[in-house]
Amino acid sequence: MKSNGQLQGLEGSADTAHEEAEVREEPAQAEVRGEADDQVQLPSFGVRLDPPAGWAQNARHPMDRRTALKTWSMAALGLGFGGCAARTPPPAPATNPGVALPAVKASWDRVIRTTVGLRPYRPGGFVVKTEPFDDKTIVHDYGHGGAGHSMGWGTGSLAADLAVQHPSRRAAVLGCGTVGLTAARQLQRRGFDVTIYTDKTPPYTTSNMAWAGFTPTSGLVAATGRTPAWEVQFRQAAEIAYRELQLLAGPRHGISWIDSYGMMQSERPQGRRIAAGGSEEGLLPQHLDTGRSILQPGQHPFPSPYASLGLRMRIEPSIYLDALMRDVIVFGGKIVIRKFETPRDLMTLEEPVVVNCTALGSRELFGDDTMTPVKGQLTFLVPQPEVDYIINGLLRTPDGGFHQIGTMPRRDGIALGRTGESGVWSMEPNPDAITRTVEAHIALYDVMRDLRPGVPPARLEASRDIPKLEDFFGLES
């Protein structure tokens, strides 16, 4: 494989600290960084990844497929094996992958939709607190960034605990996304009669547009926004949410555990890589993350020298949110379609307790100017039931940027990639991101198809013990 100066420069600096520093250079990527199982920097391609001028960006076949595939495939092959020459001995070519995975049939004609959602980011992290408002008591539960699915049950529990301090047991919940629905359930469990008031319901909420892994720290808080009091709330909420989600595993709520692979340029200690000084450092208790194995060259089918293998909880939003709406109704709740234009509109509600789960809506409704959107989009391929693994990794582009590789299979399609555009309110799909995402995945799976498994699948033992069941007893729920 032909190498170039750019590749060699990376080869010589493929240590963890260097990779973290490089990831932090990209603010938009940093917002979504935590959603990846492994923030992997792969060596630069020897070719530009930008689509050639004149590509019809929305076209299903933006360039001759054979040409595109050749370009990307060669580049992808280069990133795994050409990238380790300078300081690390070159890994053996992966001719004998220990793990055999059914390939995703990535192609333009299997693209079925692109979705856009605006993550409700708040630099100070989510808000769970009580605020008196004329004769009403407002309990806030909003600002979950890229972690609303992961944290909703937990912050909902904290919010409901604040609500029970009011003598009334009638509550209005504003918002019908994952945070509003889980808060509603937590209130019902505490004996509240709940009505959800909302502008939009699933399938039209941001919560429906999520990648939706268990990513409790993802894009949640700025490093400078963390306070000791907030961290206490975070840990309480994360513990609760982790257990609640586990208990809902199964087809009815669309929650499952799934193997998650990360393509890795170098062998590193197991566990999620958290950048020193970053917003996530030291935030998540270790027992809320399952362990990782490191797959050596030849033990995996990816075009990278190493791979990590861990387990991730997967939430399928279209199943999960529908099931939660049904649960709310089964337990006597109501869902009323209504948009609130100003805070004064709240005074017309009959319920004395109002739980605010309006996410970005809190900016207008409650004047929280710190709420900012982080636009994210996913492109979906036709579902393949046999594909039951996640892949994550970062692709380094020659212009110094990154492209996120991500595959999340679900019953309603295989979600590819996810973007993070800070401060962008537009709900229009970004055609350039679609092109890059689809082409990158076509290249990846084309390369993976060529690596024939020669031995039965072998899985390395996790070096860190998976927490014992007992560790989860006694936690607040």
Q: Which residues bind ligand FAD (CB under 6 A)?
A: 35, 117, 119-120, 142, 144-150, 174-180, 198-200, 205-207, 209-213, 215, 218, 339-340, 357-359, 361, 365, 376, 378, 418
Handedness of CA 96, 98, 102, 104 (dihedral sign): negative
Measured from the CB atom, the residue of 212 and 448 that comes closer to ligand FAD is 212
Measured from the CB atom, the residue of 80 and 213 that comes closer to ligand FAD is 213
Measured from the CB atom, the residue of 182 and 265 that comes closer to ligand FAD is 182
Name which of 422, 344, 294 is nearest 37 in CA terms: 294
Minimum distance from CB of 205 to ligand FAD (Å)?
4
Minimum distance from CB of 375 to ligand FAD (Å)?
7
Minimum distance from CB of 253 to ligand FAD (Å)?
15
Measured from the CB atom, the residue of 210 and 447 that comes closer to ligand FAD is 210
Minimum distance from CB of 214 to ligand FAD (Å)?
7
- CB–CB of 275/23 below 8 Å? yes
Minimum distance from CB of 235 to ligand FAD (Å)?
16
Q: Which helix (H) or strand (E) holds 307?
A: strand 306-315
Minimum distance from CB of 141 to ligand FAD (Å)?
8
Name which of 104, 100, 82, 78 is nearest 91 in CA terms: 82
Measured from the CB atom, the residue of 31 and 446 that comes closer to ligand FAD is 31
Minimum distance from CB of 118 to ligand FAD (Å)?
7
Both tokens of residue 89?
């001995």
The letter for the amino acid at 12 is G
Other Cβ atoms closer than 10 A to 392: 24
Minimum distance from CB of 279 to ligand FAD (Å)?
15
Minimum distance from CB of 126 to ligand FAD (Å)?
9
Both tokens of residue 265?
């340029």
Minimum distance from CB of 403 to ligand FAD (Å)?
15
369: Cα separation from own chain's centroid: 24
- CB–CB of 114/379 below 8 Å? yes
Measured from the CB atom, the residue of 179 and 349 that comes closer to ligand FAD is 179
Beta strands per DSSP E along 185-226: 193-198
Q: Residue 53: how many CA atoms within 13 Å on its side-chain side?
A: 0
Measured from the CB atom, the residue of 84 and 159 that comes closer to ligand FAD is 159
Both tokens of residue 178?
């994952």
With a CB cutoff of 8 Å and minimum separation 6, the contacts of 204 are: none
Q: How far apart are CA 428 and CA 390, in angstroms?
A: 26
- CB–CB of 311/262 below 8 Å? no
Measured from the CB atom, the residue of 278 and 373 that comes closer to ligand FAD is 373
Measured from the CB atom, the residue of 150 and 265 that comes closer to ligand FAD is 150
183 three-state secondary structure? helix
Measured from the CB atom, the residue of 205 and 397 that comes closer to ligand FAD is 205
Residue 203, preceding peptide bond in cis (omega within 30° of 0) = yes
- CB–CB of 121/145 below 8 Å? yes
Where does residue 254 fall: left (phi above 0), alpha (psi -120 to 50 degrees), or beta otherwise?
left
What is the chain's Cα-based Rg? 23
Beta strands per DSSP E along 84-239: 111-121, 127-133, 136-142, 170-174, 193-198
